[in-house]
Structure 1
């Protein structure tokens, strides 16, 4: 299984300077996304490096290979949180072409909203991946400001002992029904090999803090909200997902148009 490195970074220089170097480096990145906001924050794992230092995270970068960011790129990074993950070859092969189609779909391929947002299911906390009044308000403002653009939700997952199979039932339902009908696509899924905790050997999961990553695509933030607000999603979420996780976080990101940036550089 090919190894990739995932980086959440805070920049010490401008975004354009960092992207200029990143897009000229080898290997080319699979994903570069603007960090938008936390949807779910970690409650017990990696809390200090991710939250307690009040770092304004700027970018999510996923690179093929285990080498990570080059020394030249590191000069532009103020802070970094990184994990190494094994991602199946079938997901990496042809990823850029598939991803372009997801990010820039034909209008006729966009699934309609279900109507769940007209009378949404509202919760007191988003930590169980439910819609709150605060999250709903932010989504409305973000949608008005940014328009109908795709978002990518970075999920880090740590399973309770013996509960991964239960989570897989959630993943299966997401792929076949509850996520698919809203345009959801778990386009990158991988097993954590090294999460920087100093407890992972790379050969097993007994010492690591985090177990898996998933990068889930949605055609717009409203499609994501439509899913959270719906009864069919929450039934599966509460039955299979919530109780299977020891800890998790979800970071909302907006992917940059790497092909467009490269094209502008050639002008």
Structure 2
């Protein structure tokens, strides 16, 4: 099982996203995912809550790389704050990940399912902390859905800590997500793994057990799922009771691609990206 490292990174004020991406491309790192942080959907309440929610500067980048080596000095000097954890990811997911991820980020029209109609009369919850469509989350989604990133595929980072003996309940939820309630909205758990190490260690409140990076064709597909009765029937019965703590961070790989493409049009993309476009 290949080991990988998940990094949340906030950049120094003098470092642009283009500068950082160029350093990543010219480094020995093997990135699986480089994604721009958009917004917390669910915030942690116990595990690493301080480190994750109150960095020195808001998170800019989600970076998932193969291996567990520390980030090289060429990157560290551009980073104001960082949270990392190591994970084992099944080789069946990493072997063909670049091509599989490209299809998820750039699907053909026929591969994008239509919305199911849940948003016509949405099921609203009191809080998005239970992965329900709250009024606040609904308002943000309506605004974000008007942006290019909101209309494009998104990658949701999930961190999971299970209550003792409750992982089978979550697996029941996961199976339903893959077979029906998520897949019919284009949901796909494109990377999953067991957390093996957290950095910095010794955070109060326990440790994360697993992570998942879930993909959705757009923010409206995600909202369509949350607003539905069929999803919430499974979510409330199997997912919510299983979790000691969790968080979900919405990120956009498409925003990174658009940034790289924009720099290339200006004729500086190859130099900024290490000549690997």
Decide: shared fold, TM above 0.5: yes
| Contact 1:9–1:77 (CA under 8 A) maintained in structure 2 | yes
Match of 1:174 among 155, 173, 177: 177
**Runs of 4+ displaced beyond 2 Å:** 52-55, 196-200, 256-264
Find the aligned partners of 1:250 and 1:66 in 2 and give their Cα distance. 23
| Contact 1:197–1:209 (CA under 8 A) maintained in structure 2 | no
Give the match for residue 230 of structure 2: 232
| Contact 2:11–2:80 (CA under 8 A) maintained in structure 1 | yes
Matching of residues 64-213 of structure 1 within 5 Å = 64-146=66-148, 147-196=150-199, 198=201, 209-213=207-211
- CA positional deviation for 1:133: 1.0
Find the aligned partners of 2:224 and 2:20 in 1 and give their Cα distance. 35
SS in 1 for 2:146: helix
| Contact 2:56–2:80 (CA under 8 A) maintained in structure 1 | no
Find the aligned partners of 2:115 and 2:89 in 1 and give their Cα distance. 31
| Contact 1:5–1:68 (CA under 8 A) maintained in structure 2 | no
Q: Unpaired runs of 5+ in structure 2?
A: none
TM-score by length of 1: 0.93
TM-score by length of 2: 0.89
- CA positional deviation for 1:258: 9.1
| Contact 2:8–2:61 (CA under 8 A) maintained in structure 1 | yes
Matching of residues 43-58 of structure 1 within 5 Å = 43-53=45-55, 55-58=57-60
Give the match for residue 250 of structure 2: 252
SS in 1 for 2:252: strand
Find the aligned partners of 1:35 and 1:260 in 2 and give their Cα distance. 16
Q: Count residues with an aligned counterpart.
A: 261
Find the aligned partners of 1:53 and 1:94 in 2 and give their Cα distance. 34
- CA positional deviation for 1:94: 1.0
Give the match for residue 221 of structure 1: 219
Find the aligned partners of 2:165 and 2:122 in 1 and give their Cα distance. 33
- CA positional deviation for 1:24: 1.9
Task: Spell out, residue by residue over 1:212-259, the C-alpha distance to the aligned partner (whole angstroms, 9 max, x if none).
Answer: 000000000000000000000000001110000000000000013399
RMSD: 2.1
Find the aligned partners of 1:188 and 1:47 in 2 and give their Cα distance. 23
